[in-house]
Structure 1
């Protein structure tokens, strides 16, 4: 049944932790028996569509004749993004093309459900096989963690494919919670004020877009739950191949910190969202923005 998956093997030199996958499966009871009824198209809430629509209009993420390569891991975030792109192709007042692509790390994985979902919704899809895990094992610096290195390699693979095949943009499924966690981690661990923009242009000229950047993670979970969309329980993230005591804790601890802060201030993420576009650079100590005489 799945022989039509287009598989490619190449590599030229992110969406969920195992704990997050486990929590979602436990909360939503997502199992092999709860696949979406693909006779009906999944329903996307008006709130999500409005958020994505306003973000697209404000930052000009997707426009006429764009050719977009969408990173589809098969996790909850990228499954929603692929569904939204299919919806936009049917309803947007402009034409654009996109291809959803999964990057396999080289240790195999469960991909049939992604192919099934994309096939039923008419989403163009390819599975691209790489040797990322082998390269991780051979070149990862002692004491470093997989996440940033793996993310760069996976992004590099998408860049290479996009450039070779004439795509002008890459779409990633990061959401507002990701942006908040990234901001807090950079602040507390890296000593920098940095997050995730809705759009940026890479050095190679490709546009990188994040249409879900103002969508909350809980909204994505609601979409998955209400449509009974299957997510593979065995996450392909290389972090989950490490012993429990070797896995990085920074993101999980940051997520827990934000959860605690939001319990005390329900408007936390609204404030963070506003802060990301309300920068007062001259209030910091960066001499580039200071009138030093």
Structure 2
């Protein structure tokens, strides 16, 4: 995927769901993975021509695993003129200890990681956090909700966090994972390997393979699934839809 196509898809999401307003200070949660680096590239470029001014910072939460080198990410942030912060934590160790009686510590880790990101974002004056969830993530979350909770649900384009003053935005929502992979390869993004021992061994990975197989057997099914989510009257989606789009 070329840069202009990425800009176009991200700009459409920003406009459709009014994700950015004047003088927002937005933190990108940067993990070192292809998704967050693609989002970093997109928003840093869009700053120069978006109709309202906004600030951008990148924040990485270091979970405390050994040999996790984020220096290539810092170099990219310097190249893109984005301020970069690393939040040092012991979340990896804490999650493993807290979840000794569970199949995996992923839920604990995610909760603690988000808390650390939110707290630091607030401390540097941010009012929004951009997550790098793409179209496939949204579809997979819907399947996880259906299969394991019995509900038709997926996270929304914009989510207000109660009591904190922060909002979560998801500017990659119209970008497919295959496009992200193509962009990473074309622009040689400095992806850092995830040091987590549970990476790739989760329910989400199972659902990812399920959706991939469905799309092979029923070409175009992913786009139809995404459309079903958009038009499914999920409360959180309805709340962030502009009135002119609600009809």
TM-score (norm 1): 0.74
Gapped runs of 5+ residues in structure 2? 235-247
What is the match of residue 173 of structure 2?
Answer: 213
Structure having the higher Rg = 1
What is the match of residue 172 of structure 1?
Answer: 131
Q: 1:52, 1:212 within 8 Å by CA — same for their partners in 2?
A: yes
TM-score (norm 2): 0.88
1:211-254, CA deviations, whole angstroms, 9 ceiling, x for partnerless residues? 0012100001110111122322x3133524xxxxxx74422221
Cα separation, 2, equivalents of 1:176 and 1:97: 25
Provide the secondary structure at the position in 2 that maps to 1:101. Answer: strand
Does the alignment pair 1:133 with 2:101? Answer: no
1:145-188, CA deviations, whole angstroms, 9 ceiling, x for partnerless residues? 22222111111111111223321111110101111111111111
Task: Let me know the Cα RMSD of the aligned residues.
Answer: 1.8
Gapped runs of 5+ residues in structure 1? 1-42, 241-246, 282-293
Cα separation, 1, equivalents of 2:132 and 2:225: 19
CA separation of 1:89/1:257 partners in 2, compared to 1, >3 Å: closer, same or farther?
same
What is the match of residue 229 of structure 1?
Answer: 189
Describe how 1:141-290 pairs up with structure 2 within 5 A: 142-203=101-162, 204-232=164-192, 234-240=193-199, 248-279=201-232
Q: 1:133, 1:238 within 8 Å by CA — same for their partners in 2?
A: no
What is the match of residue 76 of structure 1?
Answer: 34
Give the CA deviation at 1:141.
5.6
Cα separation, 1, equivalents of 2:123 and 2:202: 37
What is the match of residue 63 of structure 2?
Answer: 105
Does the alignment pair 1:88 with 2:41? Answer: no
